[in-house]
Amino acid sequence: MNDFLAGKPARRAVLGTSLTAGTVAALTACGGGQEPAASPSAEAEATEATTTDKLPVGGRASVDLKGHNYLLYRPDETTVLAYSAVCTHEGCQVGVGSKVFQCPCHGSEFAFEDGARVAGPAKDPLPSYRAVIEGDKVLVYL
Ligand code: FES
């Protein structure tokens, strides 16, 4: 298990529900002020998000954990990245596009690889969470 580096996505990170590689999650409406759990901390606890068969290499997913939405991306066999799905512009729910995470409200886009803003009015990246693959489970620390 790798350590989470403050402000950077953890390698072997994860979250999960049920999307597969190439799947485009339906974009959802504004989150209405939904706030994700606090940023990763030493007290964060592992939450099973999905299983590796449901998040294959290259797969992206939008998952609901503890009442909040998170975004997952699995760039390789042993790495999973997890982000808050709350847009850093005005709080809408960010969804999974074919090449980037996309906010339907004003068009901000965020990179799968690090949550960085790549287009639109948002200035900040999506907050990242430590995530790991343990056996066939994808765990996110919330
Ligand atoms: S709330 Fe996401 S781009 Fe404005």
Q: Per the structure, how many domains does the chain have?
A: 1
DSSP state of 15: -
**CATH label of the domain that carries residue 45:** 2.102.10.10
Distance of CA 103 from the midpoint of ligand 1 (Å): 6
List, for residues 64-116, the tens digit of each pLDDT value: 999 999 999 999 999 999 999 999 999 999 999 999 999 999 999 999 999 99
φ, ψ dihedrals at 28, nearest 5°: -110, 165
**Residues of the domain holding 12:** 1-142
Q: Atom 3 of ligand 1 has which residue's CA nearest to it?
A: 106
Distance of CA 78 from the midpoint of ligand 1 (Å): 31
The pLDDT, as a whole number, for residue 43 is 82
Ligand 1 atom having least distance to the Cα of 107: 3
69 and 86 Cβ atoms separated by less than 8 Å:
yes
Tell me what the mean pLDDT of segment 21-34 comes to. 38
Distance of CA 121 from the midpoint of ligand 1 (Å): 7
